[in-house]
A and B are shown apart, each in its own frame.
Chain A
Amino acid sequence: MSRAPSLSPLPQPAADASGVIELRGVWTRYRETLIHRALDFTARQGEVISLIGGSGSGKTTLLRVILGLTAPAQGEVRLFGESLHHASLAQRQALRRRLGMLFQQGALFSALSVYDNIAFPLRELGFLDEGWIRENVRLKLNMVGLDFGQAALTPAELSGGMIKRVALARALAIEPELLLLDEPTAGLDPPRSRSFVRLIRELQEMLRLTVVLVTHDVETIRGLESSVAVLAEQRVLRQGSIAEITAWDHPATREFFLSAPNP
């Protein structure tokens, strides 16, 4: 064996000082209503952050701003250090290929089968052959706990929980670095919800994913060992570990944690 032993330590991805997501002074309006007022938000690589807040506090809108689906009236949105709203179409598409989104209702393409839904983003990449795509779909279905036999079903034939799983499989298909989840466990029964959370946690660790999620479920936050960002008064009022936020006595969070049993 004439193999030079590798002496240098493994190249780790540099712990970027700038975040994966950076929002600076973002103002968002919906018609006459002001949703975000000078909002700042940062998510660093490998972080798991849960957005909480009362209904109508602009959590889902914040996700849409991060995704570039809603343009802020003012302020800057940077993804992976690049400005989203000043990027060219090609740049924006390249940025979007690095993130996966799980929509609340799944947003599966209703005219396509489960298989084609998951294969769709892979086919869009344009360099995977059908065999590789097929194996990918098989793996992703297995990861989310579905059987390959269910791949021929159409979204209309799926239960609510299965739609979530297929949608997660589709979000993970292009191996994103940033995963955005809108109410990931809503509509799942408690055991399914726990295993789903475990799965997200496992994937997050394995791929060092950055995860930002909107949730109402304290169990989900604990299961993901997630930090918490509280949306209230039209901005991110506080961001910290779950212990810090629980200790913080504020009307925006009091009710949220009151109902949840301590672990």
Chain B
Amino acid sequence: MTAPDPPVLRLSDGEAALSGAWTLAEFDILGRRRRLLFQALSQAGSEARSWNLEGISRLDNAAALLLWRAWRQRYPKQIILPERLAAAFSRIARLPEQKEESARPVPFLWLERLGRSVLSMSRRMLSFTLDVTELLGALVLSAYFLCRHPKAMPWKEFSATLYKAGFEAMPVTLLVGFLIGLTISYLSALQLRLYGADIFVVNLLGMGIIRELGPVLAAVLVAGRSGSAMTAQIGVMRVTEEIDALAVMGVSATLRVVWPKVAAMLVVMPLLVVWVSFSALLGGAVAAFVELELSIPYFFLRLPEVVAFSNLWIGLSKGAVFGFLIALLACHFGLKVRPNTESLSRHTTASVVTAITLVILTDAIFALLTRQIGI
């Protein structure tokens, strides 16, 4: 351990004598005495007529800069500067001058800012729409290509996505679905009992879960789980230039990376919708049994009588559309990641938020279009 050698400044008769080690590390050790030293230095900067640097044992560039600033960016008139320290100062003295950027006040700055943000927002919306459309087109072309060359279908990636986004999501979707079904059933049972309409809990849950809640719940969970993972994965592949490497090897990134994800989600989401709806209904049946003493087999026997079969089809097709949307947006945002950590996190967030928003928007459109079916 090198012994501490604190920097010392002595000011007497207009001469500033410096000794000790003038380094950042020593400044760091000084602790509270540091402020005193800096104050003394700025005082010396305005008062001292001559400077003696002979006593300095070590001087680093940061400390040399500190002295230079105390000297107001030029050598003092009288200075004793040992040869071995001169290099540090001459390096600073040689630094090229920098231009001061002018900060001229602009009238109506807020108006300009408002205009800029509106413009950039609409530009972003436009480019988002264009980019997604472009990706859709690339997907259609890939599908056409695959129809003609079925052997080129990336089955491995397809099944990997099925497994990761589908099978691995089963426990968490079961849990969430069950608990939500339980809660809704319990709360509606309390209300329905007031009217003696206990039995209608099956209608309420069946319609609500199969047609609405199941698909939306599955979509939200999958967007959070798999959509973010896909964006991050493709984003890192962009950062590490893996996407470019694929292109160089003559492998289309759309075909090998985007297509299997979109196709797999199109398949797996309806299955997950069934799974989530089933778990929610199970939760609902359990709550109905506890609260209303409605037997669980009776609950499921009554279900097909009160909920038209077309509702299941609506739920399933919603699932497919939602899955497609989530995968498409995840891939889109992943491919837009620029090579830095900030961009990666921003795009992953945007992917999940946009996917969930669009899923709910699409759900509303579905509700409008299917308002005469199955009710």
Residues in B neighbouring A110, C-beta threshold 8 A: 339-342
Known: A3-B52, A135-B65, A138-B95. A175 touches B25 (CB 8 A): yes
Interface-facing stretch out of A64-72, A125-133, A228-236:
A125-133
Interface-facing stretch out of A6-14, A30-38, A187-195, A248-256:
A6-14
Q: Once the chains bind, are B340 and A156 in contact (CB under 8 Å)?
A: yes
Q: Once the chains bind, are A131 and B2 in contact (CB under 8 Å)?
A: no
Give bound CA distance, A65 to B362, whole Å.
Answer: 55
Cβ of A128 to closest chain B Cβ, rounded Å: 8
Known: A6-B55, A111-B341, A142-B95. A132 touches B28 (CB 8 A): no
Q: Does A155 contact B (CB under 8 A)?
A: yes
Q: Once the chains bind, are B28 and A127 in contact (CB under 8 Å)?
A: yes
Q: Does B5 contact A (CB under 8 A)?
A: yes
Q: Once the chains bind, are B13 and A2 in contact (CB under 8 Å)?
A: yes
Interface range, A side: 35 or more
Q: Does B96 contact A (CB under 8 A)?
A: yes
Q: Once the chains bind, are A175 and B24 in contact (CB under 8 Å)?
A: yes
Interface range, B side: 35 or more
Cβ of B137 to closest chain A Cβ, rounded Å: 28
Q: Once the chains bind, are A136 and B65 in contact (CB under 8 Å)?
A: yes
Residues in A neighbouring B341, C-beta threshold 8 A: 109-111
Q: Once the chains bind, are B65 and A139 in contact (CB under 8 Å)?
A: yes
Residues in B neighbouring A237, C-beta threshold 8 A: none
Query: Which of B2, B27, B69 has the most chain A CB atoms closer than 10 A to its own CB?
Result: B2
Residues in A neighbouring B91, C-beta threshold 8 A: 139, 142-143
Nearest residue in B to A156 (C-beta to C-beta)? B339
Residues in B neighbouring A2, C-beta threshold 8 A: 13
Encode A203-223 as 1/0 by CB contact (under 8 A) with B.
000111000000000000000
Nearest residue in A to B338 (C-beta to C-beta)? A156
Interface positions, chain A 170-199, Cβ under 8 Å from B, are 172, 174-175, 177
Q: Does A154 contact B (CB under 8 A)?
A: yes
Cβ of B62 to closest chain A Cβ, rounded Å: 5
A-B contacts, 5 listed (Cβ < 8 Å): A6-B54, A10-B82, A97-B28, A139-B92, A175-B63
Q: Which 6 A-B pairs have the closest CB atoms?
A: A110-B340, A111-B342, A175-B60, A81-B1, A156-B339, A175-B24
> B residues bordering A, Cβ < 8 Å?
1-3, 5, 13, 15, 23-25, 27-28, 34, 52, 54-55, 57-58, 60-63, 65-66, 68-69, 82, 87-88, 91-92, 94-96, 98, 338-342
> A residues bordering B, Cβ < 8 Å?
2-3, 6, 10-14, 16, 45, 80-82, 94, 97-98, 109-111, 122, 125, 127-128, 131-132, 135-136, 138-140, 142-143, 148, 154-156, 172, 174-175, 177, 206-208
**Besides A10-B57, A156-B338, 14 other A-B contacts (C-beta < 8 A):** A6-B54, A12-B57, A80-B2, A110-B341, A131-B69, A139-B95, A140-B61, A142-B94, A148-B96, A174-B62, A175-B24, A175-B60, A207-B60, A208-B58
